Amino acid sequence: MAICAVHTSGQLNPTCSFSSSLGFNGQKQQQVAVFYKQRSSSSRRVGVSVIRCEQETIVIGLAADSGCGKSTFMRRLTSVFGGAAEPPKGGNPDSNTLISDTTTVICLDDYHSLDRTGRKEKGVTALDPRANDFDLMYEQVKAIKEGKAVEKPIYNHVSGLLDPPELIKPPKILVIEGLHPMYDQRVRDLLDFSIYLDISNEVKFAWKIQRDMAERGHSLESIKASIEARKPDFDAYIDPQKQYADAVIEVLPTQLIPGDNEGKVLRVRLIMKEGVKYFNPVYLFDEGSTISWIPCGRKLTCSYPGIKFNYGPDTYFGNEVSVLEMDGQFDRLDELIYVESHLSNISTKFYGEVTQQMLKHSDFPGSNNGTGLFQTIVGLKIRDLYEQLIAARAKTPAEAKA
Ligand SMILES: Nc1ncnc2c1ncn2[C@@H]1O[C@H](COP(=O)(O)OP(=O)(O)OP(=O)(O)O)[C@@H](O)[C@H]1O
Ligand SMILES: O=C(CO)[C@H](O)[C@H](O)COP(=O)(O)O
């Protein structure tokens, strides 16, 4: 097993360290870069550094439209691995990257090849593949997966400009989150597990109003216009990615309140592909059966409109899947243990871990409904997948990679 080579003034990563990094704008830092690319749009160099690493990085893809809960999901996921996720220390304050002991989350907005003005001039949205550099995304995700550090560009959401790059060292788990993690087949093939957050139009609208109107002072008209303007490209380039996802969290209006369009009570479906290596779908009561369960009674307090679970097999884009559904919301989060104890294959390390995670983050959006519950469970499943993959690689490295 190769030991990491260290010839750098930079910070060391506990498992992997890098031997060089490229400077930008003429500023020379370390040498030995094996690859770099000149970005015409921003005169930056982005590169890959030589590295020897003890283990390969596991890559997770999380796809969703903007404002659909990716950041919230990431906070739940990194919490499952322990430790807080923070932006790179001493770096660009507008960096989109979050680093914790185990995970590094990079935002694929950083691969926008056109800045805000560029997109306006060309009349394309950020969702359009022409506004994104998939060659570079592929090269850099591949390099990180192989244990090489990269100089990743930064898209600055404050200025709308492409900023100088930041160094990303290979973590144990790399999460690529954003609009297009499964769009390009080369990038898709690098993913060890993929998730799509599928938020229905009604719910997306309700969330946007809540955030952009209540918290950011936007008008109702401008929110509607922005959703409408994005919709054709969303339908063409973002939504189709869900067919490739190993797990989809679908968020719909409740069916418990006839005609409800407030988007407060939600019906959430966790769609889990069968036959994915190291991923055994969660089930309720009896694996493979079709179950409908109203848990409200002596052990679970439910106010109107109550809670209903459904579970069973289905097909999704021609694939066999298991679907777990929760409609409604919890009154008392501590009572979630009652529901947790009826779920199997949830990959907890101790009894009540799901409930503990949910209670720990009770202030996150969706903590009283299926969005928080299923995001937490998927986080635990990813931890399990990671541990199984590492164990398998340690035994038979070549076989585990296949
Ligand atoms: N499960 C949820 N339940 C209710 N509201 C939610 C939920 N998840 C997200 N939201 C709403 O959507 C907003 C955006 O959430 P979040 O920042 O996690 O999404 P995002 O996809 O990372 O957004 P962006 O891409 O715009 O940064 C939150 O401020 C909240 O108002
Ligand atoms: O879809 C998006 C991110 O998920 C953004 O719209 C895109 O990145 C452009 O950002 P900005 O509006 O800050 O220029």
Q: What percent of the chain has pLDDT over 70?
A: 84
Task: State pLDDT tens for residues 97-118.
Answer: 999 999 999 999 999 999 999 9
> Residue 247 has what pLDDT?
98
Q: Which atom of ligand 2 is nearest to the CA of 67?
A: 4
Question: The whole model's pTM is what?
Answer: 0.87
Residue whose CA is closest, atom 13 of ligand 2? Answer: 157
Ligand 1 binding pocket includes 176 (Cβ within 6 Å)? no
Task: State pLDDT tens for residues 24-72.
Answer: 322 223 322 333 333 333 334 455 554 444 568 999 999 999 889 999 9
Ligand 2 binding pocket includes 116 (Cβ within 6 Å)? yes
Q: Would the pLDDT of 80 be above 80?
A: yes
Find the ligand nearest to 376 CA: 1
ipTM at complex level: 0.95
Q: What is the CA radius of gyration of the chain?
A: 22
Q: Would the pLDDT of 260 be above 70?
A: yes
Tell me the CA–centroid distance for residue 126 and ligand 2, in Å.
6
Amino acid letter, 145: K
Tell me the CA–centroid distance for residue 305 and ligand 1, in Å.
24
Residue whose CA is closest, atom 3 of ligand 2? Answer: 66
Q: Which of 323, 358, 322 is nearest to 340 (CA)?
A: 358
202, 263 Cβ separation under 8 angstroms: yes
Domain 54-196 in this protein, CATH class: alpha beta
Tell me the CA–centroid distance for residue 245 and ligand 2, in Å.
22
> Residue 210 has what pLDDT?
79
Q: Which atom of ligand 2 is nearest to the CA of 178?
A: 4
> Residue 348 has what pLDDT?
97
Tell me the CA–centroid distance for residue 212 and ligand 1, in Å.
10
Find the ligand nearest to 64 CA: 1
Task: State pLDDT tens for residues 180-214.
Answer: 999 999 999 999 999 999 999 889 988 888 778 77
**Which of 72, 157, 162 gets mutated to test ligand 2 (max ligand atoms within 8 A of its CB)?**
157
Q: What percent of the chain has pLDDT over 90?
A: 69
- Residue extents of the structural domains in the chain: 54-196, 246-394
Ligand 1 binding pocket includes 69 (Cβ within 6 Å)? yes
Question: How large is the average pLDDT for residues 156-178?
Answer: 96
> Residue 67 has what pLDDT?
86
Q: Which atom of ligand 1 is nearest to the CA of 371?
A: 1
Ligand 2 binding pocket includes 66 (Cβ within 6 Å)? yes
